[in-house]
A and B are shown apart, each in its own frame.
Chain A
């Protein structure tokens, strides 16, 4: 369903993603793990047409997202790291706009909005403005929205960041359910290793822009001779603390700053 081959992304002199290749099968839940600034978000941005790779190729459901952007976009849903809802609109209106943007026909759209909102336990609050929602409810709404146009792949970039354990648990239960019933492929990043261990079928570990390991959580534990995925992760990536500002957007901002003489 997803195939990345020799993917490279460089920003000026900095290589954010360095020769990364992997495949994700249909219906699989794939967790992409890595320390801050390892290249996770840059990879997701390339997979979701927001950034063009410097070299290498991507295939989403047989399509090249670089040359066939809109067709590729219909086939996936994405939940960004930061919220992307309109707080002044109601939950239902947020869903409705998404449905129109993704060309879901009127009748099917309304049926699906109702089904998803019921499934994600948001139906009672459909007429409330989103700004009145809790963090967990907003996230659930975003994920429900991501499933609205029946995508073949759903990208989740740190969907559980800042949520309490109850909300996280509930959220993954919902995601797993849709993954099982609709065979949606899920590509996620997270910092919570216990989640990756529990939810993901397979895990890829990226560090300094390079893919250092791919396999089931059990395989990685076996390979590193550790008890938990967290220990396996530390064994693979080392335990030194990373510079937090090495994300791709920050990188670009740094260069912009350099060029504009720090005026930005």
Chain B
């Protein structure tokens, strides 16, 4: 337990010490929120879909949690480059504990970032429909963070250096975000896009948050939870396996 705790604590300390990064990482969600929320808002309204800022806010929160948790897994690459990974991997501790500590730390940071963006959304004019279900939206944030922290570790353990980073960004992270329905309703698309959006685990996370914050959703909340829990379990197992195979 103490091993998991100390590695979790390390992630927290690193996060809290990187104030510039915290601010910088809020830049992108805010940009999306303002540009899309206010830019596309009138078109969305005219199409009879209601207030776009309301609609896109859960998407932007989900995006923040996605980016933050995947990057925490990719932080492995930094630790590899700067050598700290070796220090942990040569210790007389099961690798699983090391992986769990890091992943929990990354997931916690992702949820904190999500909460910060939630506050920004509220300032911009976002209002949850039911206050009672807001804590449940937090649970969905946690689930999203777990799923993608697992994916981040799996990818981070499989890459040798930072060169693959751009590749991951363009062919994994951005598609996950764009296909998740964070910015558009998941209905009325052609079959190809429909399949793609249904494969994306983030679709269910954002859908779950929408049903908790706005009271409307594409899937049922139970489906959302089941899919996210399964995806999280699979990705964590894959992540743990890949992590156990790292050579130093």
CB-based contact A84/B83 at 8 Å: yes
CB-based contact B82/A101 at 8 Å: no
CB-based contact A84/B84 at 8 Å: yes
Known: A80-B86, A82-B83, A84-B86. A89 touches B92 (CB 8 A): no
Name which residue of chain A comes closest to B87, CB basis: A84
Interface residues of A in 90-123 (CB under 8 A from B): 93, 96-98, 100-103
CB within 8 A of B91: which of A80, A101, A264?
A101
Known: A80-B83, A98-B87, A100-B3. A86 touches B10 (CB 8 A): yes
Interface residues on A, range: 20 to 34
CB-based contact A88/B17 at 8 Å: yes
Could you tell me the distance between the alpha carbons of A96 and B248 in the complex, rounded to whole angstroms?
A: 23
Q: Which 3 A-B pairs have the closest CB atoms?
A: A84-B83, A101-B91, A73-B92
CB-based contact A264/B87 at 8 Å: no
Residues in A neighbouring B17, C-beta threshold 8 A: 88, 129
CB-based contact B90/A49 at 8 Å: yes
Could you tell me the distance between the alpha carbons of A82 and B81 in the complex, rounded to whole angstroms?
A: 10
Residues in A neighbouring B14, C-beta threshold 8 A: 86, 88-89
Could you tell me the distance between the alpha carbons of A96 and B90 in the complex, rounded to whole angstroms?
A: 16
Residues in A neighbouring B7, C-beta threshold 8 A: 97
CB-based contact B83/A101 at 8 Å: no
Known pairs A83-B83, A93-B10 / 7 extra A-B pairs, C-beta < 8 Å: A49-B90, A71-B92, A84-B83, A85-B84, A89-B14, A100-B6, A101-B93
Q: List 6 A-B contacts (CB under 8 A).
A: A80-B83, A86-B87, A87-B82, A88-B14, A97-B87, A101-B87
Q: Does chain A have a CB within 8 A of B160?
A: yes
